[in-house]
Structure formats: structure tokens, C-alpha cells
């Protein structure tokens, strides 16, 4: 499974993208082979993709999400049965 985080470097979102990458790699160490960070040429972009499919788009969602939301979206895409522990609690 390949995950890509495309982010706007002009907006200063590289650290956010790296943080989310770390969270995903820690949570899905058996399921994810690779997380790539891709600086966007388009301003304001922050998208999370699994195997090329967009699972989160900052513009469509009206802003950024908490890390647990990104984890839930990736889990739903790659391992729907996986328990995320505290990240699944409401």
C-alpha cells in the first residue's frame, strides 16, 4: 500500500504532512509500504491519497482534520477490520 500526502510548500504545510506521515507509518506499520510527501505546484493543496485515490482533501472538507480522522480514512481504505484503539473512540 502506497500513501501520498500532497501539500502546499508555500503555505508552510510540509511539517504537517511529515507529522501525518509519521502517524500513519506508526499506526499501519504492517499495512503501509511507503508514504511519500509531494510538494504541490498548486497553492493551498493538502490531499491524502491511498494508491492514488483521494481519501482526504482539505478544500473539500473545509480545513484540516485531526490525526485520528486521517487514520480512520486510511484504515477504512486499507484495513476496515483494524481496531484503532483510542482513535476510534468518539
Mean of pLDDT over the chain? 94
The predicted-structure confidence for 33-74, as pLDDT tens digits, reads as follows 999 999 999 999 999 999 999 999 999 999 999 999 999 999
Angle between helices 67-78 and 14-27 (to 10 degrees): 50
Which residue(s) pair with 75 in the sheet?
Answer: none
Total-model pTM? 0.92
Q: How many Cα neighbours within 13 Å face the side chain of 86? A: 2
The answer on pLDDT for 86 being more than 90 is no
C-alpha distance from residue 9 to each of 27, 48, 53, 70, 76 (Å): 25, 15, 21, 20, 28
Could you name the CATH architecture of 2-85?
A: 3-Layer(aba) Sandwich (3.40)
Spans of all domains in the chain? 2-85
Which residue(s) pair with 48 in the sheet?
Answer: 5, 56
Taking alpha carbons only, the member of 2, 1, 37 closest to residue 19 is: 37
Amino acid at each position: 500500500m502506497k500513501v501520498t500526502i500532497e501539500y502546499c510548500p508555500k503555505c508552510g504545510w510540509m511539517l504537517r504532512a511529515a507529522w501525518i506521515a509519521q502517524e500513519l507509518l506508526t499506526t499501519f506499520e504492517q499495512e503501509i509500504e511507503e508514504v511519500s510527501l509531494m510538494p504541490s505546484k498548486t497553492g493551498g493543496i493538502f490531499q491524502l491519497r491511498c494508491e492514488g485515490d483521494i481519501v482526504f482533501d482539505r478544500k473539500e472538507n473545509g480545513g484540516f482534520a485531526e490525526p485520528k480522522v486521517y487514520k480512520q480514512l486510511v484504515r477504512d481504505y486499507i484495513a476496515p477490520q483494524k481496531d484503532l484503539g483510542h482513535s476510534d473512540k468518539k
